[in-house]
Structure 1
């Protein structure tokens, strides 16, 4: 069972320190994934993942479309989502209800799986 208080603590720390910078601005290319608190959604999610991993918490990356059909990456821990666009840790159902569409899941071993709606 996940320690939601730990998720909230990690998320709060990340949100306080995160500075959004696009990959184009920071790296001069459209996409670059690097764990860090200066960067875009991928960097934020990867930083949270690394931190939680040091605490023994397994997590999955989820590639999704936002409510505006924009590609986005969030971190999922047992149904809880850490999303740099949100003010707090939220349940995955809350994002789905707001219009997010989960497309692919990346596990801790680097494997990516298609998410099929209704499964």
Structure 2
């Protein structure tokens, strides 16, 4: 739930509403979006807890994917694949940009995930060394 909590706290309310208003997410239609932005995460978590396991899993997975592209390396990946970076510049923060790309350009979002993954692995040590006796 850490990724979900981070997603709910750091994503602007307007962007959260755009995400949760999608029919495939299944948030109850009576959710009160008029709450002040800092107060949205708690009731959203409560509403999510009342959903089916598959709905919760989908939201949690989406939150992890958005969070993964909300840091500096993720933002570089998003901007590298953006069709119009000026659209991203107009959004309030990294989570808003990542979620916007996730919702409005899913193919480019997946490409940004691949760019991010490749960059992480290119610089990281993805092998193990072993010492053995000669002979």
Query: TM-score category by the smaller chain?
Result: under 0.3
> Structure 1 or 2: larger helix share?
2
> Structure 1 or 2: larger strand share?
1
**Which has the higher Rg, Structure 1 or Structure 2?**
2
Normalised to the residue count of structure 2, the TM-score between the two structures is 0.23
